[in-house]
């Protein structure tokens, strides 16, 4: 037996097809996003900082990310496990705010996803 686990095989390291980026798990809100919700949208700070977000890098842009903001408590009450950005596709009612966030320029553009009651 010739197991050389310390040597890498070029053929095994290459994935078949295009490279797929792994999406990140839910996180606390970035500082700029939370500040935008509190200052610009006049939301309760205690409630804002209890929210979670999922991020997805925009195609072709290193510092700009699509962001979805949701309540972890509401998701748990409905029995939904939020694993990443795409897991909210099947449950759009959980998304409170949606938009994009640029880490480098600190630009935040977020719109409410909730439908207003008439």
The H helix count followed by the E strand count for the chain is: 4, 5
Tell me which H or E stretch contains 97.
strand 95-102
Is 118's pLDDT higher than 60?
A: no
| pLDDT value of residue 7 | 73
Judge contact between 45 and 33, C-beta under 8 A. Answer: no
Instruction: Give me the mean pLDDT over the 53-58 stretch.
Output: 92
Higher pLDDT pick, 83 / 2:
83
| pLDDT value of residue 72 | 93
Note the pLDDT tens digit of each residue in 64-105. Answer: 999 999 999 999 999 999 999 998 899 999 999 999 999 999
pTM reported for the whole predicted model: 0.77
Per-residue pLDDT band for 50 (boundaries 50, 70, 90) equals: very high
All structural domains of the chain with their residue ranges:
22-112
Contacts of 78 (CB under 8 A, 6+ apart): 91, 94
**C-alpha–C-alpha distance, residues 72 and 87, integer Å:** 13
């Amino acid at each position: 037996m010739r197991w050389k686990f310390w040597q890498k095989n070029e053929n095994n390291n290459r994935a078949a097809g295009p490279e797929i980026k792994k999406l990140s798990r839910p996180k606390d809100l970035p500082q700029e996003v939370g500040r935008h919700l509190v200052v610009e949208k006049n939301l309760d700070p205690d409630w804002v900082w209890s929210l979670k977000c999922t991020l997805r890098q925009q195609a072709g842009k290193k510092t700009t990310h699509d962001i979805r903001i949701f309540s972890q408590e509401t998701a748990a009450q409905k029995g939904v496990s939020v694993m990443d950005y795409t897991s909210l596709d099947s449950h759009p009612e959980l998304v409170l705010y949606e938009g994009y966030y640029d880490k480098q320029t600190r630009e935040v553009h977020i719109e409410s996803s909730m439908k207003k009651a008439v």
